[in-house]
Amino acid sequence: MKILVTGGAGFIGSALVRELLAQGEHQVVNLDCLTYAGNLASIPTALHSERYCFEQVDLNDAAATTAVVLKHRPDAILHLAAESHVDRSIDGPGAFVQTNIVGTFNLLQAALGLFQSLSPVSQSQFRFHHVSTDEVYGDLAGTSDLFTETTSYAPSSPYSASKAASDHLVRAWGRTYGLPTLVTNCSNNYGPYHFPEKLIPHVILNALQGKPLPVYGQGLQIRDWLYVEDHARALIQVLLRGTPGATYNIGGHNEKTNIEVVQTLCDLLQELVPNRPAGVRQFRELITFVADRPGHDARYAIDASKIEQELGWRPQESFATGLRKTVHWYLDNQAWWQDVLSGSYQLNRIGGTGA
């Protein structure tokens, strides 16, 4: 298949592109506008692949988006491009409305134009797979409830509200125009190449530099953690085998409080980093509790039984194995994150070749 991936230079998108290229079967077109969180150095395998092509396009540019879709005429579109940081959405919601809602609309229109030009056989094989978040469901009050594919939407932040809106647009284009759509809602991802503003890489890199490890409130918010490479494998399974019109929740079966995550990271670093920053005896000493953010959801937890039963997907990593792999990756790849922290990665945009 020729697969168009939007946001393929981002955290989850780059993991997906790496997995698609590793499988050795698919052609990949990576459409990304390279905002601050986009980094083509996260796809080192793409440099020498003839099955990879990069297009620097902003989904807010409808004409350019349509041109790329019609130029490459993909068999499927995997839509991951999004503004995704909750704190940034609180400070500046406009960018989230533009990218996550208007950008998705533009991509849907381009995909629909391509779809309507296809033969009936090609139409039956075409897929538009929209990648979303469990945050659209709001939060869970109980300790045993789980988000299912039929849970009502109740987003709490500008970010989750914009993603909820994009989910609704995708389903509407499926219902109204017959576009073969798929929607997946995932839990919190973690793993290699994660942008340092997010919790796990932020804690790792701050600890290595002897900086405070900020934790909102008392750190009792609960999240379900999913190793990003497990997520990439799930997305491919849904694309290839999912039922058009269906939704699939993807979770890691790893519910942890934020403070538990931070403490576990500190303990791993204590084990793996013998040369600690000056003045730091125990990494846990760096934990600093700060004022909670507005509208902070208390608990997310995914019921992933549908994708397990229908498509046979299960995460390969436990939280313990995935987190250890993640810490090792950041210790072994300092050049990548130092370029991100310095901003030099934005000056060294590296593309790919091929079709």
Read off the pLDDT of each residue in 335-351 and give the average, rounded to a whole number: 81
Place of tokens 């929740």: 249
Query: What is the model's pLDDT at position 349?
Result: 55
Asked about 260 being catalytic, the answer comes back as no
- The string of pLDDT tens digits covering residues 158-175 is 999 999 999 999 999 999
- How many Cα neighbours within 13 Å face the side chain of 217? 14
Confidence of residue 48 (pLDDT cuts 50, 70, 90): confident
Backbone phi, psi, residue 344, to 5°: -70, -20
β-bridge partners, 222: 257, 299
Read off the pLDDT of each residue in 120-128 and give the average, rounded to a whole number: 98
Of 221, 193, 204, 184, residue with least CA distance to 86: 221
CATH of 2-347, one of 3.90.209.20, 3.40.1190.20, 3.40.50.720, 1.10.760.10: 3.40.50.720
Whether the per-residue pLDDT at 60 is higher than 80: the answer is: yes
Query: What is the model's pLDDT at position 353?
Result: 42
- One of 83, 134, 255, 317 is an active-site residue; which one? 134
Query: What is the model's pLDDT at position 280?
Result: 93
Whether the per-residue pLDDT at 14 is higher than 50: the answer is: yes
Poorest-confidence range of 244-253, 292-301, 316-325? 292-301
- One of 32, 135, 224, 230 is an active-site residue; which one? 135
Whether the per-residue pLDDT at 144 is higher than 90: the answer is: no
Asked about 50 being catalytic, the answer comes back as no
Of 14, 13, 52, 19, residue with least CA distance to 240: 19
State if pTM tops 0.85: yes
- The string of pLDDT tens digits covering residues 182-240 is 999 999 999 999 999 899 999 999 999 999 999 999 999 999 999 999 999 999 999 99
Tell me how far apart the alpha carbons of residues 336 and 351 are, in angstroms, rounded to a whole number: 16
β-bridge partners, 128: 77, 181
Asked about 134 being catalytic, the answer comes back as yes
Q: Is 53 within 8 Å of 128 (Cβ atoms)?
A: no
Tell me how far apart the alpha carbons of residues 194 and 322 are, in angstroms, rounded to a whole number: 13
Strand 76-79 versus strand 52-56 pairing type: unpaired
Element (H, E) at 256: strand 255-257
DSSP tag of 38? -
Read off the pLDDT of each residue in 140-153 and give the average, rounded to a whole number: 87
- One of 159, 193, 300, 345 is an active-site residue; which one? 159
